[in-house]
Amino acid sequence: MMQTTEPKSSDARLQSRRLILRMPNLDDAFAINDIYNEGDVARWMSVPSPCPIGFTLEQFQRLVVPSPNGVCYIILRKNQRPAKPIGMILANWAGPTGVPKIGFLLAEKHHRKGLMREALNLILPQLFKTARTETVEASRFEGNEASDKLMLKMAFRQVGTSTAFNRATRREEPQVDYVLARSDLVVS
């Protein structure tokens, strides 16, 4: 059974058996910047490659300020000492539709261990509640098959394609678009 701790403040935390998810602080930018620069992560993220720390620090200056139209959680392993961010989940619903769009990243050495699925199991119920929405959207660049498998396991449905500028490759690239209905959410 997944244990969830309701977020109530700027230090809100969600916990599962292996993970702690908490709000970001500016110091997290350094660990996340390292992850942005990992080959298997950088290709799928729309961040410059190589990613300068200045870019990440600027991003984090916005992320550490609570927003009424978005959330950001830093992913930590419970058993890791010292605790160091291993990933991040962001969602924003400030766009014209008001529907949250979620994105995530995880350090390479933590891939294929079910950790992002565990983190999404914590975040998604909270996201539906916080954003007061019936759907959540996501996109991934074509070729990112690991994200495709995860999205489908999480009951997201493919709903089409689009394009987006990828700062890592410096060009417009095709994406696969997904939607998850609240009624389809299955937390495992």
How many beta carbons lie within 10 A of that of residue 187, not counting itself? 14
Model confidence at 11, pLDDT cuts 50, 70, 90, reads low
Separation CA 88–CA 97 (nearest Å) = 24
Which residue, 90, 10, 111, is CA-closest to 47?
Answer: 90
pLDDT tens, residue by residue, 21-47: 999 999 999 999 999 999 888 889 889
Q: Using an 8 Å Cβ cutoff, are 75 and 88 in contact?
A: yes
Separation CA 84–CA 141 (nearest Å) = 27
Tokens, residue 62: 């916005």
In the predicted structure, residue 3 carries a pLDDT above the cut 50: no
In the predicted structure, residue 9 carries a pLDDT above the cut 50: no
Strand order in the sheet with 70-77: 13-15, 19-22, 70-77, 87-92, 101-106, 135-141, 171-181, 157-166
Separation CA 56–CA 59 (nearest Å) = 5
Q: What is the pLDDT of residue 53?
A: 97
Q: Using an 8 Å Cβ cutoff, are 44 and 140 in contact?
A: yes
pLDDT tens, residue by residue, 33-85: 999 999 888 889 889 989 999 999 999 999 999 899 999 999 999 998 888 99
- Model confidence, pTM: 0.91
DSSP for residue 24? -
Model confidence at 10, pLDDT cuts 50, 70, 90, reads very low
Q: Mean pLDDT over all residues of the chain?
A: 91
In the predicted structure, residue 187 carries a pLDDT above the cut 90: no
Separation CA 3–CA 117 (nearest Å) = 14
Residue 49 backbone dihedrals phi, psi, to 5 degrees: -130, 115
Tokens, residue 182: 């609240």
